[in-house]
A and B are shown apart, each in its own frame.
Chain A
Amino acid sequence: MYQFLYNLIGNEIIAGLLVAVVPLTIILVFALFGIWLERKVSAHMQDRLGPMRTGWHGWLQTVADLMKMLQKEDIIATDADKTLYNIAPVLVFTGSFAVYAVIPFSSKLLGSEVEIGLFYVLAISSLVVAGILMAGWSANNKYSLLGAMRAAAQIISYEIPTALIVLSMVMLTGTLSLDKISQMQTSSFWNWNIFGGAIFSLSKFLLIPFMFVGALIIFISTLAEVNRVPFDIPEAESELVAGYFTEYCGMKWGMFMLAEYGNMFAVSAIISILFFGGYQSPFGYLGNTIGAQWLVPFEQGFWFLAKGLTLVFVQMWLRWTLPRLRVDQLMTVCWKYLIPYAFINLIIIGIISIL
């Protein structure tokens, strides 16, 4: 996409900035839509209607909330550490926004075609941890600090099973590039990695059960990494008010919300790229059938968003299904169950893929 914009405009800086604007727009629109969806999903699961008054079925509710947030007074507690307090929301949002630099939305709409995309995603999300610790410490509030400590411990722990599953997928596909992993799973849903990849052989059938286990483990551990229920102990509202962003208000609080929803979609996108074919259609493309090649990237974008939003919907669904874990249970799940299973899965996938 950068090359296309560069040819169109002829200025490296403007083209680079425009490439960065695209995922920013996607995050903003997704956050508006995602918060509305979260409210509607939770309301309907509890047999309520949710927001109904602002626009059709309340679809303008988040826009109204955003307007309210922008007008709020920016309150900083006297004892807060002002510099770090102001940097922290930006850092958290930067971490979640930077992930989008390598996510391919379709074969034409991808920010950077960097070869080490997956590794980059794992690394750059650690900025979020630093930002959360910064927010929790600088607010000078015990709830904030406790929430930040819990969040950091949780995210670091659950990065290990995520990285192990990602490693097994890298071993299977032989590349770290998210775009290449997507391209490999083309033409039919039977070629997706969750069904053993595109090469038709005995090992494909042997891989299927381990792929299902891998997809499940990475879904659970990424759910914990984005601090969603049932792993939301960093912001457990009955114990810690709001966790690490207790003291924040107005648009700085909004930045944390944006980062949370950005992260939700980012991890869903990563899972869909690793296991569910990324932007590839499960059936083949209408554009190829009727001979309109320009239609294919749009279809790919549609499928990518559909898969991502489905996984986001599952995350919201789980929020109203499962109770919150305790701190010790959370660590038990990670260290005693997910990491050993992920290790065994890694070894078995390694053995099968060299068969």
Chain B
Amino acid sequence: MEKFTTVTGIAVPLDRADVDTDQIIPKQFLKRIERTGFGEFLFFDWRKEPDFILEQPFYRGASILVAQRNFGCGSSREHAPWALEDYGFRAVIAPSFADIFRTNCTKIGLLPVQLTEDEVNKLMAQLKAIPGAPVTVSLEDRIVTTPTGERFSFEIAPDVRERLLNGWDDISLTLAHEDAIAAYEGDREREGPSTGQFLTASQT
């Protein structure tokens, strides 16, 4: 995946809470078997609303999304982070994220940044006052710099940060511990149930 170090770009204030993954990418677009091309369907229904913020010219080319709490709730569809990434977003800032969405983002190099509700509201207000203003997200320093120069620090698990900074692939990291997996399988793995009994019966 692409490394994430520091990103400076236009930030979009999406002043809504509990934005679910059905809004980020509706179900009719989950039928593709490819990993790319979801960006044009991002917020598909909301983009039909008059004045929807993403459609306003100030925000063309935006790379940072700012939203309210519980962003990404609902389904586990990784298509949601794929759509955000494909549209051009590199980071999402919110007071809280749904767990599966947050994990999915970090697997593809899209940075979820958790600030306090107060900080998000301040940032949101600045972005509304100065539409199209740039924000900087530094993963190296764990700092968000707002358009007026305020600096908000954020926490992120050290191993996740390391992985994002380096663009490391999770599977390769785990396979470095293949001995440990084999040892577990040999010594401690529970007996069954094996799905193998269904292999032939199930294919018809």
Q: Say whether A associates with B.
A: no
Interface residues of A (CB under 8 A from B): none
Q: Which positions in B face A, CB cutoff 8 Å? A: none
